[in-house]
Copies of this chain bind each other. A is one copy, B any other.
């Protein structure tokens, strides 16, 4: 070990880094939902995306990207497999030609109706797993963190 990189540094990052802990937890829980949803041919991300599109008015691409805290270009990419399967349709907005509306098709709704009980069951299992841990508090903390980070991002761009 070099003097400027003691083992304690490794432990410092492992024990303190919220980013690392978040990536680990996100990957672990993502795999869990992927596995549960596999019979339906959906990944956890696809499930979240389809759910986000179930609204009275088909939402705008940018709005969905923001809701999912996802890069717009990533969302464009994620739509491709769903479009191919006919679960989603992308349309130009009637009023503003730049905008794209993400339309959940009837086939998309059918898949979603099948997926929902799977999601509920899987989530119940995770809540059980967490036991004494307050999963609602955890969710709220994550939501707050995402919100604060996105606020700063916007501020950085908007700053004079």
- Given A10-B51, A68-B24, A133 and B123 touching (CB < 8 A)? no
Q: Are B123 and A145 in contact (CB under 8 A)?
A: no
The reply to whether A116 and B69 contact each other, CB–CB distance below 8 Å, is: no
Is B5's CB under 8 angstroms from A19's CB?
A: no
Q: Which residues of B contact A19 (CB under 8 A)?
A: 29-30, 32-33, 44, 48, 123
Say if the beta carbon of A27 comes within 8 Å of chain B: yes
Tell me which residues across on chain B come within 8 A of A113, comparing CB atoms.
4-5
Count identical subunits in the complex: 2
The dominant DSSP class at the A interface is helix
Contacts of A94 in B (CB 8 A): none
Interface residue A98 (Cβ < 8 Å from any Cβ of B): no
Q: Mark A100-137, 1 if CB is under 8 A from B, else 0.
A: 00000000010011001001000100100110010100
Known A9-B54, A129-B148: A26·B23 in contact at CB below 8 Å: yes
**Chain B residues whose C-beta falls within 8 Å of the C-beta of A141 in the assembled complex:** 133, 138, 141
Q: Can you give 6 contacting A-B residue pairs, CB < 8 Å?
A: A1-B54, A5-B113, A7-B54, A23-B44, A27-B69, A29-B149
